[in-house]
Amino acid sequence: MAETQKLDEVKDDQAQEVVSLHEAPAAVLDEGSLDPVYEAKAKVLNKAIQDIGMGRYQWQLFIVIGFGWASDNLWPIVTSLIFTPIKNEFHPTRAPFLTLAQNIGLLVGAIFWGFGCDIFGRRWAFNLTLGITGIFGLIAAGSPNFAAIGCFAALWSIGVGGNLPVDSAIFLEFLPGSHQWLLTVLSIDWALAQVFATLVAWPLLGNLTCEETDLNCTKGENMGWRYFMLVMGGVAMIMFFLRFVCFTLYESPKFSMGKGKDAEAVKVVHEVARRNGKTSTLTLEDLELCNNLAPSGHAGPQAQSHTRAALKRNLEKINTSHIKALFATKKLAYSTSLITLVWAFIGLGFPLYNAFLPFIQANRGADFGDGSTYLTYRNSLIIASLGVPGCLLGGLLVETPRIGRKGTLGLSTILTGVFLFCSTTALNSASLLGWNCAYNFMSNIMYAVLYSYTPEIFPTKDRGTGNAITASANRIFGIMAPIVAMFANLETAAPVYVSGALFVASGVAVFALPFESRGKASM
């Protein structure tokens, strides 16, 4: 008995020595927030990835992950751009059903892919989301009626809804802790997608679309939106091809480790090192020694306990374990609840403003484009272009001492709401353009940081679930906006004030979040 106890103590000392030798940058989550074995192994893997550094594999991943970021912004913009031509051609009783169908699809996608990637892994979700988007986007170009385009919008949105919950998890799990700021810069693809959509829409929708006053709009006179869908669907399929055929995604090492597949985690680390032209000193024994840090109250030998735990993790599929882990401590529960609330408020505020923007444009902005298609798309392009420097500035600010993730996110969210309030004071198209430029600049900083900060404060093994919860809250509240637009009074700016207030409240809530991830490695 004494010999067994002494052997366990020696193994525990060895495990502590391995963790200290593989000490990575400070972790985002507090010590003791996670299972001690998982926490120790995560630190070992973080140090291994940090030693490999930012290399060829991560830069290739930066490019293909950017396709998901672009898709997340591109397709909601597609729906808004084709909304008027579709309404003119099909004359639906309630046109906002198109936006509602899209938001329902986004919700389903966020739930299915977000929760699913913590169960069946990241690779399938990573490859399939863009393929689903592209296929149904292309099919939608041939829609014979409003019901058909509504169904296809919901179906392509199921693919779109999974991009950010999955892609942010994948990229973060391969990034060295010193380069996690790149997750913020990645949002430049989000901004460029808006510019791209506007540039393509300008000639197609600007010249091949029925006038709103045309009561007899026919398919032949209104082909612009169909050509536009073919271009967007084609681009999505090209992105899918580049991901699926031209790039090999390895399963996340920390995800494999969290499922008890230590050998696979080590194999991937060595493969990433090889792709980067380097070698890694990580061994399977380094991870297995961490098993000795399991609580002593476990029945049976530690190795047997770990084997059973790993087997249980592999056998369990759909249950609440990943959700419970996000509320395991008071601090984690508070953090998860608050960031979900922030996503929910933004989810309602953003589409609510867009739904009532036409009223502001017509009554306060002298018809935004002054009735000219050229001016309308010119102004839209100016607004979209400002998103690019916004994302780059966000990437700089998140690494700035005393500001960090929380400071950048909180201030940009509050200022987004402030500029929404200011837009209601516009008396002509020029002043409305100015306020919208300011609003879009700040909102792009906000989204860039929100999309990077959120996955950082979730542990890897539950990151997909955490992303799914926040994205689902965002989509559920987003569904409310078109419903409000269908039944509320559109001849008032009150909803715009509500939208601004939601952004300001979200910004204030950000400052109450307990974790600051600047300079710390995700777990």
Integer Cα distance of 407 and 418 in angstroms:
16
Number of residues that make up the chain? 523
Per-residue pLDDT at 22: 47
Beta pairing partners, 27: 521
Cβ proximity of 125 and 113 under 8 Å: yes
Per-residue pLDDT at 355: 65
Cβ proximity of 138 and 234 under 8 Å: yes
What's the CATH code, domain 56-249+325-510?
Answer: 1.20.1250.20
b/e 381-390 (16+ beta carbons within 10 angstroms → b):
eebbbbbbeb
Integer Cα distance of 10 and 14 in angstroms:
6
Phi/psi at 221 (nearest 5 deg)? -85, -5
Per-residue pLDDT at 489: 62
Question: And the tokens for 89?
Answer: 């051609």
Phi/psi at 301 (nearest 5 deg)? -60, 150
Dihedral over Cα of 32, 34, 40, 46: its sign:
negative
Q: In Å, what is the CA distance from 185 to each residue of 63, 276, 446?
A: 12, 21, 12
Per-residue pLDDT at 365: 46
Going by C-beta distance under 8 Å and a sequence separation of 6 or more, which residues neighbour residue 350?
443, 478, 499
Question: And the tokens for 341?
Answer: 């609330």
The string of pLDDT tens digits covering residues 6-50 is 444 444 444 444 444 445 556 565 555 567 777 788 888 888 888
Helix (H, G, I), strand (E, B) or coil at 237: helix
Cβ proximity of 343 and 457 under 8 Å: no
Give long-range contacts, CB 8 A cutoff, 24+ apart: 319-324.
322/115, 322/118, 322/461, 322/462, 322/464, 322/465, 323/462, 323/465, 323/469
CA-wise closest residue to 475 among 125, 105, 114, 24? 105
Question: And the tokens for 432?
Answer: 């409305």
Cβ proximity of 173 and 456 under 8 Å: no
Per-residue pLDDT at 6: 45
DSSP state letter for 267: H
How many other β-carbons are positioned within 10 Å of the β-carbon of residue 376?
19
Instruction: Please name the residue ranges forming H helices in 426-462.
Output: 429-456
Per-residue pLDDT at 146: 95
CA-wise closest residue to 214 among 49, 399, 89, 46? 89
pLDDT beneath 70: ranges in the chain: 1-34, 212-214, 293-319, 355-373, 488-493, 519-523
Q: Radius of gyration over alpha carbons of the chain, in Å?
A: 25
Helix axes 330-363, 494-510, angle to 10 degrees: 150
Domain boundaries, given as residue ranges, for the chain = 56-249+325-510
Helix (H, G, I), strand (E, B) or coil at 190: helix
Give, for 307, the enclosing helix (H) or strand (E): helix 302-315
How many other β-carbons are positioned within 10 Å of the β-carbon of residue 462?
25
Instruction: Specify the amino acid at residue 386.
Output: L
Question: And the tokens for 165?
Answer: 């919950």
